[in-house]
Structure 1
Amino acid sequence: MFNKLSQIGKKIQGMHIPVSYNIDHYNSIVEEINKISLSDKSESDLRNMAIEIRKKVKDGTSLDDVLVEAYALGREVSHRTLGMRHYDVQLIAGIALHEGKMVEMQTGEGKTLAAVLPAYLNSLTGKGVHILTFNDYLVHRDMEWMKPIYDFLGVTVGYIKEGMSIKDRQNAYRMDITYVTAKEAGFDYLKDFLCIREENLVHRGFNYAIVDEADSILIDEARIPLVIAGSQEGEENDLARLSALAKELIRGTDYAIDQNGSNVYLTDFGLCRVERLLGCSNLYEEPNLKLLTQVNSALFAEALLKRDRDYIVRDGKIELVDEFTGRVADKRHWPDNIQAAVEAKEALNKKSRGIIMSQIALQHFINLYPRIAGMTGTAKTSANEFHEFYGVDVVVVPTNKPCIRKDCSDMIFVSKEAKKNAIIAEIRKAHEKGQPVLIGTGSVEESERLYKELHSVGIEANVLNAKNDEMEAEIVAKSGMYGAVTVSTNMAGRGVDIKLGGENGERRDEIIAAGGLYVIGTGKNESRRIDNQLKGRAGRQGDPGKSRLFISLEDDLMVKYDLTKLVPLQLYPEDKNKPFNNSTVNNELNRGQRTVEGYNSDVRRQLLKYSFIIEEQRKIVCSKRQDILQDKAQLKILKEKSPEKYDEVLVKYGEKTMYEVEKQLTLFFINKHWAEYLEYMNYTRESIHLVVMGRKNPMDEFHKIAIEAFSEMLGDIENDIVSTFERVEITKDGIDMEKEGLTGPSSTWTYLINDSPDQFSNLPHLVKAFSTRASGTLFSLSSIYKKIFGRKTITK
């Protein structure tokens, strides 16, 4: 027995633990910083010290060797310019950020100020530092707020916002430190991919990034692809016809919806009916796969996506509602087929259909930085993913003052009605004694419903679910006022502290006597991290506070994942209006939440595996294209494949013209064929799960198809360069691309793909359904197998 325990102990010791609470190493460095007293130095002395530190780095001294004096200087300058002196815990966070760690700091502990020190230190190399934030409001606010420190230290700083010109973007990216949203930086990277002139590139080489609200950006939105698309003639008539067809189909007869309400499938009867209406003999034959995808998308849009819940229609456009924040999601699309299907469903006539010119998942974009670090109030629960996906570990930084917030056990009810009544009673009780209350809800619809319920019982509240980030920040800041009641959707990425009594601390003592901010959650989220973000709004900087979640067994999370099965019937309360009074129920629902977290983590992991090969191919194409654009590559295709015309042009117009001709053609056809390749792989991605019925591994098949298609694409690029070169007219100025019909799309735009309705994300379920041969599945395996392989049954 002892030997077995010893072996287990050795295994545990050998494991990599991605979370560290031990800050002894950082404390020793902080002690060195504290030994440097600069309070008696003049401003001139401090500026000279900044110049000397920069000179040391330029002469080859490592950043680690100047960290102590640089941080001591930064702390003193912050105190003199902003009146804010870094706490020791902020110094610890700054050191950990410089080391490339994911730092967990509680809400109100000063992450924005802590990030200044590593940003300043790393800017001294002259290679640039990006501080990646959650939204444009925080970008501008944080840059303007911290700018006096940077100015004093002789560090240039800028920011990027949507709508800026190429020149302004270039200037901002060439600053020592640039504040920008992760999405905007990613979009600029994609735009650089389409550049045909080097002078229009906006990014320089990536160096070091600090990611604010890191869990929201690196985990919640990591799998969301950033896309740049171009105009292409569409297929509106076909889409309208398919949308009309989907409206005729009957649930239960022609199609069925899975128990989670996340996928819809044609029944055998429905499949035959659709084929008859379309005049198509077999939707599952390879030539019909595109049509099959469009049929599925039309059915998905009709059966599962609801107007004013999943999206709104405004100014003739579809605008998605973000599942994490409950707000309208800026520049967000579903996958192209789903987006087009919803537009057809709502009879929005589009003159052109977009073709994806280039795309990159946010996760892959972040990994382009050689060094990254991040900060958030909730990192521990995602530590394994931070380490696995980004190679960074979590350091938990203690609070400056002990946290005395009281996190109460969940109140669990049988019905939503009983839960609602309990929430209103709890709000009324707190409100009557002047205690500010923040209520976190799961959706826009729920927030507005609760707001109306409160109004009907005489409780005035602010509701926070708007799109305007600046307006949101103002409402959040006021939610700590005496007697304030604020109803909000998800608090992720808000980036604003709630101070008791507001900015001026009005009636602060009375608020403290009433118990501080009371945070109420109207249900569990799919992640403990999201729940903890909400709870963390109370108890800022040692203030008193309280949090509690109110849950019902009718909540969406409970129904979607069938978590009610975890609660034994004998534990139900006799009075259905009373809460459960049993710790077992709470423990079981917490276990269910962890199971859901594990499933979502598996989905992200699965998506990473499937996108990995496309990302590696994108790197190859991007590197080659940038070398050509910046004249770093030798172009030999035309000399080798079309020597006669090559020599003719060379003699007639010279080497420079010949090089520009090949450069023009190569850049054009790389763009053209890469876009076509992405479109093909997107269709493949949406149908790859069907190979499960053929006893094949979807991942292996997807990789096989991607490798073959990529190789074919490279050959097509070369062939088109040669054939076009041999037919076009060439002058001393090269090729008139517009005259020869060799132009890209007339317009381009950027957006993000919301992949939640994509069948691809449900591959783990589909594979499991097949491997266990689950009975009664909505996905008719035998029917599809028969369609594909011409057999009636699946045999072992």
Structure 2
Amino acid sequence: MIKVIKHLKQLPARWNNKELEAEINHFKQLVEKIKEVNLENEEDSKLVEMSKRLVSLAQRGISEDELLVQSFSLVKEAAKRKLGIEPFDVQILAGIAMHKGKLAQMQTGEGKTLAAVFPAYLNALTGKGVHIFTANDYLAKRDAGWMGPVFAFLGIRSGFINEGMSREDRKKAYAADITYVTAKEAGFDYLRDSLCYEDDELTQKGFGTAIVDEADFILIDEARIPLVIAENEPVKKSISDKISKIVDVLVLGADYNTDESFRNVYLTDNGTDKLEELLECGNLYSEENYELLLEINCALHARALLRRDVDYIVKDGKLKLVDGFTGRIADKRVWPDGLQAAIESKEGLSSFQEGRILSTITMQHFIKSYAKICGMTATAAASSAEFKEFYDLDVVVIPPNKPCKRIDHEDILFAGNSAKFHAIISEIKSVHASGRPILIGTASIEESQRLSDALREDGIYCNVLNAKNHEQEAEIIAQAGCIGAVTVSTNMAGRGTDIRLGGADEAERDKVVALGGLYVIGTNKHESRRIDSQLRGRSGRQGDPGSSRFFISLEDELIKKYGSKSLNAAAIYLKGQKGPIDDAFHKRLVEKAQRAAEGQNEDMRFLLWRYSNIIENQRKIFYNWRQAVLRGASEFVKWTFEALKEYNNAQKYVSIDVLMKIEKYIMLFHMDRLWAEYIYQTNYIREGIHLVNISGLNPLEEFVRSIQASFDELMLEVYEEAQNTFRSNDFSSGDIDLDKAGIKAPSSTWTYQITDNPFSDDLGMLLASNRNIGFTPGILLLWPIVLFGIIYTRIKKSNKANEMV
């Protein structure tokens, strides 16, 4: 059903292709008009006056479109004078596309940083604020410093935000016309602001324009990952350490099994009997054991499915998640539902304390709060349908300033990983002998280390870039284009890096060019073609020569997870073959497996969006209500308290100003407390709601019905709790101690992200998507069903109990 809906929604995009082409032609005409404006002979003071006039016109209501040619001409000239850079036509074209609310696809090395300055300046003229989202803190600081002189010259204030900055410094940066910041950090500030009790505590001034760099990564890959703010309040001590030790005695194949692709794990009857005996808990699937069963689920998942130096690393005594898309440490990200604690127990680390979640928002919904969204990346076209569906963003492919000369060789396919590994080593040795620089992109930290060890044993020195030494990234990348350089990397080298031929200073550029430029080798295909394209894009920047080739095997993770029966059969039949498989049929099946992976991941994003969108609509209502209370503009506050008989008595002792402050604080306190409880409840319902499909019910419809009723109750409960608190206070002293009365904001909070996927296994996806399934012994034996069934029933019982009170 999901695929049918998606197909129907893609039809208008096909019809609008001609309309988009006409727009692009119009953009190109605007580029010519901008180039006709000659400001070379004007004094600096004249340009400053022109900029002031544009600000005045914009703030008087003249549309940005009418000011586009003038403003872009000013930026073009300012860049020449302050940076010594003559912007390319394609950078101006990309700037126009972004100003028009498009997503500009620009090839590697085309100068996206400067391209963003054009729409940033134009949209900053109104004073509504422009946020430029960068890939990391380093780039936020670097780009703000690099492009800052252009903005300053034109009288526009710019700033940046990094993690760890004080509230005052953040307020100052957000108060600027243009702010460079990561989307994650801006989202965390949004959540912090959502807990403020006074208007002057807010750091962000508004949400005008968002310009998103690496847009496919932020708007798609990271889109569904919730941003969380939690209170530093220790949660109930976990029994993960004990469970982890018990699960360690279980034997694969006898006590538990995984599927062929290692995506699911489940207990056997023998394993269940063994655990019941070791734990002395009776029936493991009884209702009183549901928390114990959850702990076992997490411990088993941590042991069987998650691998050190692939899914996570241990660094400085801490567990660090590795982002599968970038290969970098996923800073401030944790696994949900006790899984984090289970892995820490597995590794013998101190337990992670989540604290009480106070508020949360997905990256996707946070970014959609901006009045205008646009962006840029090197790989957007492959996901154009998703950009249109989720953000109403059209993708505009910007032609390169110079034609791409990179040669992308045909993939080489092997039957097994051993044959592939030896072929890669042989290829590296052969190319390295000529002195040509090589970049090898691997699938994991584990693989990058194994490959580098093998190369060093053969006498080939190489630099290794992965999440374990990310601090040295700039230094390693600076040397990756030198004569004789061999760089082994995870996906870290596939995005946001600029490898210059001949080294950072390009001293030996001509020699490297003569050798054919940078040679990129991929050791695996990724689940997304965009990631493969990012890796290829490290070579052939700005018309440089270069080449790329991928070495793949029928034993690769991608093939195991998404390959057809024909591919799996071929892997068995051809096992042991050392040479390449020179067969077009099997290569097409590999391509089909990658498309299947993309399709499944897209289905998952679409499904999660449908569920999260419902909660987001409620969050917006609640957030707007809270903002009204915060700013003292809510009639609800007045109606809540003035109806009480205690209100008139309070007025005898407390001034109206003090009384209004007390009313506001009471309301905000209960709104925050009850919203936190509501988030906890809706998360539990969502995680188990797909099980209603077994009873023939539609999960999405049941989810909407359940949380809508709960949300209505929430609004009433805020009203009742606020009144009860007001009644319980004695105003005869002329004031009340709000802290003593328990009415205060959290004293200490922290922020993180949760790797969110409540339908993480195949069964969950099957049930949540409302496909018809039959009752089979296999399904009935899968214990996660029992677990989530218990949780769902427990939540429903809790709701009924509350209704009766």
Using structure 2 for the length normalisation, give the TM-score.
0.91
The one-letter amino acid of 1:588's match is: L
What are the residue-to-residue correspondences of 1:527-538 with 2, within 5 Å? 527-538=528-539
Equivalent pair of 1:19/1:394 in contact (CA under 8 Å) = no
2:360 maps to what in 1? 359
Equivalent pair of 1:378/1:533 in contact (CA under 8 Å) = yes
| Structure 2, unaligned runs of 5 or more | 1-7, 791-805
**How far has the Cα of 1:480 moved from its partner?**
1.2
Q: Structure 1 stretch 102-111 or stretch 713-722: which is displaced more?
A: 713-722
**How far has the Cα of 1:694 moved from its partner?**
2.1
1:794 maps to what in 2? none
**How far has the Cα of 1:545 moved from its partner?**
0.7
Q: Match of 2:766, SS?
A: helix
Q: Structure 1 stretch 131-140 or stretch 350-359: which is displaced more?
A: 350-359
Deviations 1:100-124 (A, max 9, x none): 1011000001111111101011100
Q: Structure 1 stretch 167-176 or stretch 459-468: which is displaced more?
A: 459-468
Matched, 1:511 2:512: yes
Matched, 1:598 2:599: yes
Equivalent pair of 2:410/2:549 in contact (CA under 8 Å) = yes
Structure-2 separation of matches of 1:301 and 1:573: 33
Structure-2 separation of matches of 1:429 and 1:314: 35
1:700 maps to what in 2? 701
Equivalent pair of 2:554/2:567 in contact (CA under 8 Å) = no
**How far has the Cα of 1:536 moved from its partner?**
0.9
What are the residue-to-residue correspondences of 1:417-436 with 2, within 5 Å? 417-436=418-437
Deviations 1:573-616 (A, max 9, x none): 79822111122222221122111100000000011111111111
Structure-2 separation of matches of 1:686 and 1:12: 34
**How far has the Cα of 1:377 moved from its partner?**
0.3
What are the residue-to-residue correspondences of 1:454-603 with 2, within 5 Å? 454-466=455-467, 471-491=472-492, 494-563=495-564, 565-566=566-567, 569=570, 576-603=577-604
**How far has the Cα of 1:301 moved from its partner?**
2.4
Change (3 A) 1:581 1:309: closer
Structure-2 separation of matches of 1:658 and 1:405: 71
Deviations 1:322-347 (A, max 9, x none): 22233322111111422233334445
1:3 maps to what in 2? none
1:793 maps to what in 2? none
The one-letter amino acid of 1:497's match is: D
Equivalent pair of 2:416/2:571 in contact (CA under 8 Å) = no
Change (3 A) 1:638 1:281: farther
Change (3 A) 1:725 1:247: farther
Equivalent pair of 1:419/1:552 in contact (CA under 8 Å) = yes
Change (3 A) 1:416 1:160: same
The one-letter amino acid of 2:629's match is: I
Change (3 A) 1:206 1:483: same
2:684 maps to what in 1? 683
The one-letter amino acid of 1:15's match is: W
Q: Match of 1:499, SS?
A: coil
Deviations 1:199-248 (A, max 9, x none): 21101110001000111111111111011111334222544444444345
Equivalent pair of 1:355/1:679 in contact (CA under 8 Å) = no
Change (3 A) 1:101 1:282: same
The one-letter amino acid of 2:49's match is: N
Change (3 A) 1:237 1:502: closer
1:179 maps to what in 2? 180
Equivalent pair of 2:227/2:753 in contact (CA under 8 Å) = yes
Structure-1 separation of matches of 2:515 and 2:651: 85
Q: Match of 2:653, SS?
A: helix
Structure-2 separation of matches of 1:357 and 1:218: 24
The one-letter amino acid of 1:482's match is: I
Equivalent pair of 1:403/1:540 in contact (CA under 8 Å) = yes
**How far has the Cα of 1:752 moved from its partner?**
0.8
Equivalent pair of 1:410/1:549 in contact (CA under 8 Å) = yes
The one-letter amino acid of 1:35's match is: E
**How far has the Cα of 1:684 moved from its partner?**
2.1
Q: 2:641 aligns with which of 639, 642, 646?
A: 639
The one-letter amino acid of 1:636's match is: K
What are the residue-to-residue correspondences of 1:259-270 with 2, within 5 Å? 259-268=260-269, 270=271
Structure-2 separation of matches of 1:493 and 1:149: 29
1:206 maps to what in 2? 207
Equivalent pair of 1:293/1:686 in contact (CA under 8 Å) = no
Structure-1 separation of matches of 2:601 and 2:356: 29
Q: Match of 1:236, SS?
A: coil
The one-letter amino acid of 1:480's match is: G
Q: Structure 1 stretch 359-368 or stretch 754-763: which is displaced more?
A: 754-763
Structure-2 separation of matches of 1:762 and 1:488: 34
1:375 maps to what in 2? 376
2:110 maps to what in 1? 109
Equivalent pair of 1:224/1:362 in contact (CA under 8 Å) = yes
Change (3 A) 1:250 1:660: same
The one-letter amino acid of 2:641's match is: K
Matched, 1:45 2:46: yes
Q: Structure 1 stretch 729-738 or stretch 322-331: which is displaced more?
A: 729-738
**How far has the Cα of 1:538 moved from its partner?**
0.8
Structure-1 separation of matches of 2:503 and 2:734: 65
Q: Structure 1 stretch 217-226 or stretch 339-348: which is displaced more?
A: 339-348
Change (3 A) 1:587 1:78: same
Structure-2 separation of matches of 1:267 and 1:703: 35
Change (3 A) 1:127 1:209: same
Q: Match of 1:265, SS?
A: strand
Structure-1 separation of matches of 2:52 and 2:783: 74
Q: Match of 1:664, SS?
A: helix
Structure-2 separation of matches of 1:342 and 1:570: 32
Q: Structure 1 stretch 562-571 or stretch 623-632: which is displaced more?
A: 562-571
Q: Structure 1 stretch 42-51 or stretch 750-759: which is displaced more?
A: 750-759
Change (3 A) 1:278 1:782: closer
Structure-2 separation of matches of 1:775 and 1:439: 46
Using structure 1 for the length normalisation, give the TM-score.
0.92
Change (3 A) 1:734 1:378: farther
Q: Structure 1 stretch 645-654 or stretch 104-113: which is displaced more?
A: 645-654
Matched, 1:66 2:60: no
Q: Match of 1:579, SS?
A: coil
1:5 maps to what in 2? none
Structure-1 separation of matches of 2:184 and 2:576: 50
**How far has the Cα of 1:756 moved from its partner?**
5.1
Structure-2 separation of matches of 1:368 and 1:18: 30
Equivalent pair of 1:195/1:201 in contact (CA under 8 Å) = yes
2:661 maps to what in 1? 660
Q: Match of 1:771, SS?
A: coil
Structure-1 separation of matches of 2:131 and 2:13: 36
| Structure 1, unaligned runs of 5 or more | 1-7, 790-796
Change (3 A) 1:787 1:421: closer
Change (3 A) 1:52 1:552: same
**Runs of 4 or more consecutive aligned structure 1 residues displaced over 6 Å after TM superposition:** 10-14, 570-575, 785-789
1:26 maps to what in 2? 27
Structure-1 separation of matches of 2:657 and 2:598: 58
Change (3 A) 1:450 1:130: same
1:223 maps to what in 2? 224
Change (3 A) 1:187 1:18: farther
Deviations 1:129-170 (A, max 9, x none): 000011001111111111111111111100000011111000
The one-letter amino acid of 1:490's match is: N
Structure-1 separation of matches of 2:128 and 2:785: 55
**How far has the Cα of 1:512 moved from its partner?**
1.1
- Aligned Cα RMSD in Å? 2.9
Equivalent pair of 1:414/1:579 in contact (CA under 8 Å) = yes
Matched, 1:126 2:143: no
Q: Structure 1 stretch 714-723 or stretch 15-24: which is displaced more?
A: 15-24
